[in-house]
Amino acid sequence: MTKTKSMSVRQRLRVRLTEGPMIVAPGIYDAYGARFVEQAGFDTVYMTGNGVSASLLGRPDVGLIDLTLIASHAHRVASCVDIPLICDADTGHGNAVNVRRTVEEFESAGVAAIHIEDQVAPKRCGHLPGSRPVVSMEEHAGKIEAAVAARRDPDFLIIARTDAASGLGLAEAIRRGQAYRKAGADVVFVELKTSPTILEDMTRVTSEIDAPCMVNIDGGGKLGGLTASEIEKLGFRLAIYPGLERYAAGYAVRAALDALKRDGTTAAVRERMLTMKEYNDVLGLPEVEAWEKKYLLIDKP
């Protein structure tokens, strides 16, 4: 694999699209979660719009997060880790003119890649029940062209997402993916829901679209049960797991609250909670203390 020590996080992500094993990007919604991902040894992290909507607004993913809110949040997340951050940019937050500013904001935030979908605004999470209305293929191709033209760093990745499969069929989704690649997308993301034909659908996507392909592993069923190696064998180069932090954290918090309400103490779940030391280690407190010792007049004569 190409040496990456001297590369920027964006360059490292671009190299990984074609070299080494498939990229596995666990999903987070905050800087705390991003640190866990990096410390677990993953080389890429994904920030989910669904999770950001839940964590910042306490609301579902139905298009309530605006550009300023998510871009400023992304800046804080990107600045606390040294691995590439991929972000959900919804529909690009408007038309081709708005997409230009969307790219500028995420690029300035230090994000390595964004995905822009062809849903009609206001969007809804692709894994909610029902199909998703989409704009015309020509309109979204224009937005992808605008996104590519707007970036200042050529290594900032533009991922084109289509939600057409659920309402218009897989063939149309593949046709759109091909058009978005032609428009300049670095990666193509066909949103798929689990179904009896999901393995065949996934194989069609990667064999018929001449581009690195990304897949969303967020639900259960056959799709959610696939291992990373099995997904890679189907031809994908990037797999995101958007629900990982929000589902795991939500389960753990609810269990701890139930114990406290029931018992008046968290003793029953203490073994499934971090200690104060473990918590501070995740946040990098030892590094801060070393910095203080070196540069502040602490314990110095």
Q: Mark whether 125 is an active-site residue.
A: yes
Amino acid code (one letter) for 120:
V
Between 10 and 132, the higher pLDDT residue:
10
Q: How many secondary structure helices (H) and strands (E) does the chain include?
A: 14, 8
pLDDT in tens, 233-291: 999 999 999 999 999 999 999 999 999 999 999 999 999 999 999 999 999 999 999 99
Question: What is the C-alpha to C-alpha distance for residues 42 and 248, in angstroms, rounded to an integer?
Answer: 17
Spatial contact of 245 and 218, defined as CB atoms under 8 Å apart: no
Q: Where are the domains of the chain?
A: 9-249, 266-301
Residue 149: which H helix or E strand, with range? Answer: helix 137-150
Q: Mark whether 82 is an active-site residue.
A: no
What pTM does this model have?
Answer: 0.94
Q: Mark whether 90 is an active-site residue.
A: yes
The band of 62, judged by pLDDT with boundaries at 50, 70 and 90, is confident
**Catalytic: which of 10, 29, 125, 163?**
125
**pLDDT exceeds 60 at position 3:** no
Return the pLDDT at 261: 98
Q: Mark whether 95 is an active-site residue.
A: no
The band of 195, judged by pLDDT with boundaries at 50, 70 and 90, is confident
Our CA angle for 229, 154, 208, nearest 5°, is: 45
Spatial contact of 93 and 54, defined as CB atoms under 8 Å apart: no
Rounded to an integer, the average pLDDT of 78-102 is 96
**Catalytic: which of 12, 35, 100, 115?**
115
Question: What is the C-alpha to C-alpha distance for residues 215 and 222, in angstroms, rounded to an integer?
Answer: 14
What are 143's two structure tokens?
A: 């937005």
What are 269's two structure tokens?
A: 């779940």
Q: Mark whether 87 is an active-site residue.
A: no
CATH of domain 9-249: 3.20.20.60
Return the pLDDT at 263: 98
**pLDDT exceeds 90 at position 45:** yes
Q: Mark whether 216 is an active-site residue.
A: yes
pLDDT in tens, 117-127: 999 988 877 67
